[in-house]
Amino acid sequence: MTLPCGRSDDALRRHDLVFVSPAAWRALLEPHPDLAREPLVAGWADRGWPLIVRRIVPGEAKGLALGLPLPPSEGKRRLAFMMPSGDLAATAPPPLLSAAMDAAPPAWRPTMERLIDLAAVHDGEARVFGSLAWRLLTGLDYLTARSDLDMLLPLPPAGDVGRLTAELAALEIAAPMRLDGELVRSDGAAVNWRELHEGAQEVLVKTIRDATLASTRQFLGADARS
């Protein structure tokens, strides 16, 4: 499980976790009486479960853009909220992949162990988001037979990117699930690892503010570690 920390809201990134007080959660649900009547949603903050930081949609009001994906039993709906930044109680980064081992299907665990080792070889830590992360955080059954393993890996120096993505592609061949996820730059900007592996000249760069096309060279060159 994650431990809430004191990261300021202006330093938050996509996939970070945000914890809100039950009172703030009730206030957030007031404009959504249909959601407030749903026991799982209404009691979310009472259980100490987090929301996730998402990308801001153009035209949204000011505030912190948060998401709440519900499990398959609740229709896999993705709820979106805008919360006053002063209402957050605590934040945490996405869970480490190693922390999600017991929450994962047994067949996934050898692949996860190799991913953890692979990240360490490149001087980074593998983190997890998506269905497996939500199962870890809530204990609810988010995983299905079609679930991917959604991972976050730090972007290595530009010269090692090709080696890392080739290793991910090789690992996926023998994996029982699809490996999805992003390589995350030191400033929080991220690109899907497949785009880099396929040698795209342009990649979709995602940040908390937007998603824009940029040249691969620009994305890699903007990292202070490159």
Active site residues: 148, 150
Nearby residues of 165 by Cβ (< 8 Å), 6 or more positions away = 183, 193, 194, 196, 197
- CA-based nearest residue to 211, from 65, 86, 92: 65
Distance CA 136, CA 129 (A): 10
For the CA atoms of 23, 25, 26, 31, what is the dihedral angle to 10 degrees? 140
- Quickly list H helices, 105-186: 109-121, 130-138, 158-174
Q: HSE of 218 in the Cβ direction (CA atoms, 13 Å)? A: 10
Angle at which helices 109-121 and 158-174 cross, to 10° = 170
> Element (H or E) spanning 197, and its range?
helix 193-197
Buried b (16+ CB within 10 A) or exposed e, 199-209: eeeebebbbbe
